Amino acid sequence: MTTQNIELLAAYWTIAGDIYPMGPSEVSPFSFKDRMEAAANAGFKGIGLVHNGMMDTVDKIGFPAMKQILQDNGIKHVELEFLVDWYHSGERRRQSDKVRQELIHAAKELGARSIKIGPGIGEDVADIELMVKEFTLLCQQAAKVGVNIVLEIMPFSNVRTVETALAIVEGANQPNGGILLDIWHLSRGGVDFSDIAKIPAHFIKSIELNDAHKYAVEPLWMDTIHKRCLPGEGVFDVPAFIKAVQAAGYEGPWGLEILSDVERKLPLEIMANRAFQATIKQFDK
């Protein structure tokens, strides 16, 4: 398999440093400029930004400077995250709507390709009718600035199968609405890679690669935010996942999302280079 046309995107946590989701801080100890330069020097053509870290950077240097840094480093693809409670009501929805507004505005300013949204983490059952309605609304708002909305399948949520995710995105049937497939969430959730073939190509909007140890740390949330491995250093069949995604018709950039209590402590340049090299090798297998 040739790697000539493969473009890799470093998701936020991959090169953010010694931080993790919902930790004491989600703001990277490394400057935006240093992270973009390290990503570009390693070979990445895309990056991810998480809401809290992004807004901290906006406060420090502003969107125009951020956009210039992206352009200076040849970063073509930007993905923003992470919107939750987008279909809820009350105070949860009010907080969610503030994040929604800021993410959509940032997508416009930075020319982002996607905004990642979460299912109901810790919820057992998906209210499909409600989620279709709210997903449609969210996609229509995002379409005004030309950004995709990508719904992530997660094993500890109410969207843990391809079938449930499809019911939502197909029900909404928005051109900018689709699914995010992360090999970790599929593998740990027992979703067979053959299920990817059920998804029409235009609904596969974003991909994330990584790896994991044979035995998961419990609870599973701790495993996902602390114990991921670089592709090829765990037990996942990463090349098989790549082939299944390609066979389904996906042609966009390939995200790499590493949340590792080992990798995150490395120097920035080493972190970025290790991540890129380990991932690009999977396309030769």
* pLDDT digits 0-9 by tens, 58-75: 999 999 999 999 999 999
d(CA 90, CA 36): 38
Average pLDDT, the chain: 97
Residue 1 resides in a domain: no
DSSP 86: T
If one counts the domains in the chain, the total is: 1
Task: Give the domain range for residue 12.
Answer: 8-284
Find the DSSP H helices in the chain: 32-42, 51-72, 90-110, 128-143, 162-172, 183-188, 220-226, 238-247, 268-280
d(CA 76, CA 70): 8
Residue 2 resides in a domain: no
Give ∠ CA 174-176-178 in degrees, rounded to 5: 80
Per-residue pLDDT reduced to its tens digit, 176-230: 999 999 999 999 999 999 999 999 999 999 999 999 999 999 999 999 999 999 9
Residue 99 resides in a domain: yes
Q: Tell me if 149 sits within 8 A of 142, measured CB to CB.
A: yes
CATH of the domain at 251: 3.20.20.150
Dihedral sign for Cα atoms in the order 33, 281, 263, 111: positive
Residue 57 resides in a domain: yes
Residue 265 resides in a domain: yes
Residue 280 pLDDT > 90, yes or no? Answer: yes
Q: How many residues does the chain have?
A: 285
Residue 275 resides in a domain: yes
Residue 39 to residues 8, 43, 70, 155, 156: CA-CA distances in angstroms? 10, 6, 10, 29, 31
Residue 3 resides in a domain: no
Per-residue pLDDT reduced to its tens digit, 238-254: 999 999 999 999 999 99
Residue 96 resides in a domain: yes
